[in-house]
Amino acid sequence: MNNKMFYLILLSIVLGIVGGIFLPEQMIAIRWLGTLFINLLKLIALPLIFSALVGAITSIGNTRRLGSIGVYTIFYVMVSVSFAVFIGLLLLNVFKPGAGLPPELILANVSTTHTKTLDFSSFLLTLFPPNIVAAAAKFEIMPIVFFSIVFSIACISVGESAKPVMNLFNGLRDIFVKMIIWLMYLTPIGLFSLLGSAIAEAALQKRLMESVRGMLLFIVVFMLGLLLQCLWQFAIIRYIRRKKASEFVRQASNPMLTAFVTSSSIATLPVALIAAKQLKLTDEVARFVLPFSTTINLAGTAMYEAVSTLFFCQILGMHLSITAQIGIFITSIVAGMGATGIPEGGLVTMIMVLRSANVPTSALVLLLPFDRILDRFRTMVNVWGSLVCTATVDYVSTKKQRAAVLPDYAAEKEDVALA
Ligand code: ASP
């Protein structure tokens, strides 16, 4: 099925381009098919984000069981995901792959343009609307995110009697994941219609090559970001494992290949657990940290959400202040968490980041031809990050344990000597 899908996507790109150039009127007439596809993505985005966030945050709550190991993991994840988003935003600001690309690439599929500027106070006010249902109806995602965070914290503090609710949300999340997998089968149709109708806009045809160049630069910059993300984490492994660092990479290559093939960090988890065993990481640490980190440590995805949004803003010529970029920074981290383990989940939850930056969701059409392959790479980085996280937490907790045991041992020795 995967191979078939790949060829179907290629075919839809070719047909979309040919149709856009030679049958522009017909392509514009079937633009509604693409709009339908985007609507379906948006339809699932909200409930998915809500249920996935509740699942992820309530699992953080359970870390109290594991005390310091849980705290180390959360700390590592926060640092790692923030670094990823920071690297991505920095690279985009330096290379500016979107600058000079025709905004019609995005605006061809929207009836209204978004010109609202972002300032800090209105951003804060949108986070706390008086009516959450009205906010959901208006597709304001940030209030939903904040609501799910508070809701999850309340679930954790209620404890036992909230368990059925937490289980319900985990079940809901699985159902939405299934729906996304089905929806992704429609990608070729959505892509054909959106790409074809965008190209049908006469002005675009002349600038097509330029756009392709811009897209390729964007992909190269994103890949560079992923590479840098892997490299700074490799430096940690070098420090922890010294000469055995290459063995770590060798063992990690199996789960990373699985991540590439499955496009799902959760599906890769069993293979990652085997690698952790072969790397002789403490069993208790690996069994807790790996699944936990897989749920929330989506550095590659968060980077993707951030760089894509900034890329679109560059195409649209939107001037983003530092505050607005901080907004993208935060929403990308949260949106990454919402995509946990779902093949191409990052594409769906990106809607949240786009909304918060006032970028039309039709911008996703630019990513559709490449998302499948980019997903494989970012999933590899997510899995690599979880393994490094586990090794780091194992190293720190073992060192702490030794430090706690050694003084006793030293004192004992002293007592013996005195006797
Ligand atoms: N497929 C990714 C994962 O499972 C999520 C995404 O970026 O779409 O980690």
In the chain, domain spans:
3-399
The finding on whether 382 has its CB within 6 A of some atom of ligand 1 is: yes
Per-residue pLDDT reduced to its tens digit, 59-78: 766 655 557 888 888 899 99
pLDDT value at residue 108: 63
Within 13 Å of residue 330, how many CA atoms lie on the same side as its CB? 14
The finding on whether 386 has its CB within 6 A of some atom of ligand 1 is: no
The finding on whether 233 has its CB within 6 A of some atom of ligand 1 is: no
- Kindly report the protein residue whose alpha carbon is nearest to atom 6 of ligand 1: 346
Ligand 1 centre and the CA of 339: distance in Å?
6
Find all residues with CB under 8 Å of 309, minimum gap 6, and list them: 328, 332, 350, 353, 354, 357, 359
- Kindly report the protein residue whose alpha carbon is nearest to atom 3 of ligand 1: 341
Atom index in ligand 1 nearest the CA of residue 300 equals: 7
* Segment (H or E) for 365: none
pLDDT value at residue 114: 45
Which pair of structure tokens corresponds to residue 392? Answer: 């780091």
User: Would you give the distance in Å from CA 418 to the centre of its chain?
Assistant: 60
Per-residue pLDDT reduced to its tens digit, 96-118: 998 888 887 777 655 444 444 55
Ligand 1 centre and the CA of 121: distance in Å?
32
Count of all residues that appear for the chain in the document: 419
Which pair of structure tokens corresponds to residue 413? Answer: 């020795």
- Over the chain (419 residues), the average pLDDT of each successive run of 10 is 75 88 86 86 81 76 67 91 95 91 72 49 72 80 80 86 87 85 86 84 63 88 97 96 90 91 86 91 86 87 94 89 83 82 85 86 85 92 96 90 63 49
The finding on whether 140 has its CB within 6 A of some atom of ligand 1 is: no
Question: Is the CATH number of domain 3-399 1.10.3860?
Answer: yes
The finding on whether 343 has its CB within 6 A of some atom of ligand 1 is: yes
Ligand 1 centre and the CA of 264: distance in Å?
6
Q: Whole-model pTM? A: 0.79
Which pair of structure tokens corresponds to residue 234? Answer: 């490799």
